[in-house]
Amino acid sequence: MEEVIRLENVVKIYRTGGVVTYGLRGVNLVVYRGEFIAIMGPSGSGKSTLLNIVGLLDRPTKGRVLICGEDVSRMSSKKLAYFRNRKIGFVFQHFNLINRLTVLENIELPLVARGMPRKYRIELAKKALIMAGGDLSWLPKRPNQLSGGQQQRVAIARAIVGSPEIILADEPTGNLDRASAKIVMQTFLKLNRAGNTIVMVTHDPEVANCTQKIYVIRDGKIVAVEEPDPSRCVIETVK
Ligand SMILES: Nc1ncnc2c1ncn2[C@@H]1O[C@H](COP(=O)(O)OP(=O)(O)OP(=O)(O)O)[C@@H](O)[C@H]1O
Ligand SMILES: [Mg+2]
């Protein structure tokens, strides 16, 4: 099996005003192509820190990070930006959409950064929104004219519009009701079946149980790997 993510003894130390905080205390993790994994753990245990490092939004203090076999610390800033744009799609708990742009413009953003002509951008944005369980009538609207569940589907469309092979999601259902959480998880499962590798942070057992493997993180370290129970996945439990 092909490794798409490898973390070797990754340590993250935050230094703010003389105060030292450990985000991660030596994490080892390998994710293979096509896997769908969940990361669970208490608040402050390092879940977002881990995801941000994998997503190239932050750098480790110590240790090695490989994405698609390439050592991130050896990449130029140009290559890092390329990897962020092409290889990784990020979904956040608070959607992180831009309200002064339309839904269409939000979804197109990763393609604008690539210099893709408008005609193709619109085509791909529509395809992504449908894949994410959204509706094309949302395209001219502003994100804040949509419900939370709808906004998250737009955010997922933005994350997948450029066909990244890795999708990272930090509490993607954290602000959603059960019905919306179910729709969002159906989308992630569909993306996984289509070949995407997915790493999802969640504190919701009914979300974690939809994945293939649950890593438990505590105090900056992975302390257990658990087998999910698919009969307790939100898709099965919410009618
Ligand atoms: N930018 C930062 N500066 C200083 N400390 C930070 C920073 N980001 C995170 N930390 C600290 O690192 C530790 C891990 O934080 P992290 O955000 O990764 O936790 P989490 O597991 O995502 O928690 P939650 O479930 O509340 O989102 C915490 O002690 C946190 O206070
Ligand atoms: Mg977090």
Q: Which domains does the chain have, with CATH numbers?
A: 34-60+76-237 (3.40.50.300)
Contact 140 CB / ligand 1 (< 6 Å): no
One digit per residue, the tens of pLDDT, for the chain of length 239 reads 899 999 999 999 999 999 999 999 999 999 999 999 999 999 999 999 999 999 999 999 999 999 999 999 889 999 999 999 999 999 999 999 999 999 999 999 999 999 999 999 999 999 999 999 999 999 999 999 999 999 999 999 999 999 999 999 999 999 889 999 999 999 999 999 999 999 999 999 999 999 999 999 999 999 999 999 999 999 999 88
Q: Whose CA is nearest to atom 24 of ligand 1?
A: 43
Atom of ligand 1 nearest to the CA of 23: 12
Question: By the 8 A CB rule, do 214 and 227 touch?
Answer: yes
Contact 94 CB / ligand 1 (< 6 Å): no
